[in-house]
Amino acid sequence: MNTAELHNEVREVNLAYLMLAQHLVRRDRDTAAFRLGIGNDLADLLERLTPGQVLRMASSPMLLCRFRFEDRMLAELLCDHEREAGMSRLHAAILAAGQPVETLA
């Protein structure tokens, strides 16, 4: 994959993420903030973005979404334990809820 292809892939992921995040925030702000791991300031910003602003942000060469956690146990809970998937996801949600939300600096 060359640099231009990689940039296009990043842009597509960014656009999909921003559109989903904006939709979630507009639909149910509190649930969106929890699921996205964001604070009220960022939720406000996402809600107010125009389509043009979303496209400009999506065109950034850096990936705008990131893993909400850096905890290996949380990652393993989300991808393992097929027999107890429901309990693992619940445990992962509890751990994620204890993580601080991102805020604008």
In a domain, 104, yes or no: no
Number of domains the chain contains: 2
Same domain for 24 and 58, yes or no, is yes
Residues 15 and 61 in one domain: yes
Query: Is 58 found in the same domain as 74?
Result: no
Helices 29-36, 3-27: crossing angle, 10 deg rounding: 140
Residues 81 and 33 in one domain: no
Q: pLDDT tens for the chain, 105 residues: list them.
A: 899 999 999 999 999 999 999 999 999 999 999 889 899 999 999 999 999 999 999 999 999 987 766 667 767 776 765 656 666 666 566 666 666 655 443
Predicted TM-score of the model (pTM): 0.71
Return d(Cα 101, Cα 33) in angstroms, integer. Answer: 8
CA distance 103 to 1: 34
Host domain of residue 47 = 1-66
Q: What is the CATH number of the domain that holds 24?
A: 1.10.4000.10
